[in-house]
Amino acid sequence: MVGGRDLLSRLGRLYLPLAGFVILGLFPFYWMLITSIKPNRELYSQKVMPLVVHQPTLKHYIDLLTETNFLTWTYNTLLVAVVTTVISVVLGTMIAYPLARMRFPGAAVVAIGVAATYLVPQPLLFIPMADIINRLELGNTLTAVMLTYPTLLIPFCAWLLMGYFKSVPRELEEAARIDGASRLQAMTRIVLPLCTPGLLSAGIFAFTLAQNEFLYALIFLAKSEVRTVPIGVVTELIRGDVFYWGQLMAGALLGSVPVAIIYSFFVDYYVAGLTAGSVKT
């Protein structure tokens, strides 16, 4: 059915620009991958064609896992991400629920306050925060980042969840309350289960953002054993000598894998979360 003309116009309007976006978007990942499996003699030669691998090797991965603290960093990153995600989704839910569904004195102030904390950028807070963490004697502990990441994530989760909570019809809750359910039961048994997609979105988003966090971890985690992957990779794998790129790219790639896996399972929830804030207003 598709004539040559149609195909040509579809090529220009769809396939060519699409290929451009995909290639530009994914090239750095391709580059990470092939760098990480190239032997050094290929990496640091001006003569070898660099776009493909001629003799693949796993040496960089083995070195990364045996000579550096990469596995410890991975463990730290995942532990911190899971703990902060749980804290943020729970506290975010507890903030969003009353704001979305209740009338009470002070609601407007809290709503504005939460929106404001969401928009306050980290650079405004990290210097005083460093002093506070020092005074609490939490330097070089994962507790320091577990306490500070949620400052970014709670307002985000609350914002995202408010939209979902508002969408549940009031009648459902009222029917439950007439049947004798308390407010807490109506929340945990009626409204929250109906908002499972929203809770999933918030959780996935919080989890990826927590793994992306950099500044607080850079400031608070100065010892190698407590570092997270991004900090470990940037501060320890970039060394003075030239020949570290294979290992560095192996680290960058492996460090991205947990996020990518979670993301691939829940892409739709992630996209829903991404667009909820801006499209649903």
Q: Which of residues 223-262 bind other proteins (CB under 8 A)?
A: 229-231, 233-234, 238, 242, 245, 248-249, 251-253, 255-256, 259-260
Supply the minimum distance, in Å, between the C-beta of residue 266 and other proteins: 10
Residues 6+ apart with CB under 8 A from 154: 87, 88, 91, 92, 95, 117
CB proximity list for 158: less than 8 A, separation 6 or greater: 91, 92, 93, 95, 96, 99, 114
Site string for other proteins, 137-156 (x = CB under 8 A): ----------xx-xx--xx-
User: Binding residues for other proteins, how many (CB under 8 A)?
Assistant: 103
**CA nearest neighbour of 145 among 161, 159, 126:** 126
Scanning 46-54, 58-66, 68-76, 192-200 for contacts with other proteins by CB under 8 A, the matching segment is 46-54
Is residue 165 a contact residue for other proteins (CB under 8 A)?
Answer: no
User: What secondary structure letter does DSSP report for 209?
Assistant: H
Q: Which two tokens stand for residue 68?
A: 């550096």
Of 8, 22, 58, 172, which one interacts with other proteins (CB under 8 A)? 22
Query: In 10 A of CB 233, how many CB atoms?
Result: 23
The smaller minimum CB distance to other proteins, of residues 98 and 197, is found at 98
Min CB(251)–other proteins separation in Å:
8
CA angle 133, 147, 273 (to 5 degrees): 140
Using DSSP, state whether 221 is helix, strand or coil. Answer: coil
CA distances in angstroms from 273 to 87, 152, 160, 206, listed in the order given: 18, 16, 7, 10
Interactions with other proteins, residue window 93-132 (CB under 8 A): 94-95, 97-99, 102-108, 110, 113-117, 119-132
Q: How far apart are CA 129 and CA 152, in angstroms?
A: 13
Helices (H) and strands (E) counted in the chain, each on its own, are: 16, 0
Nearest approach in angstroms of CB 139 to other proteins is: 12
Nearest distance in Å: CB 93, other proteins: 9
270 in contact with other proteins (CB under 8 A): yes
- Which of 213, 214, 198, 195 minimizes the C-alpha distance to 270? 198
* Of 3 and 21, CB closest to other proteins: 21
The tokens of 82 are what? 């899971």
Q: 39 or 277: whose CB is closer to other proteins?
A: 277
Residues between 193 and 222 that touch other proteins (CB under 8 A):
208, 211-212, 214-215, 218-219
Q: Select from 82, 91, 138, 200 the one that contacts other proteins (CB under 8 A).
A: 91
Nearer to other proteins, 195 or 259 (CB): 259
DSSP label of 122 = G
Cβ nearer to other proteins, comparing 18 with 62: 18
Least separation, in Å, of the C-beta of 4 and other proteins?
18
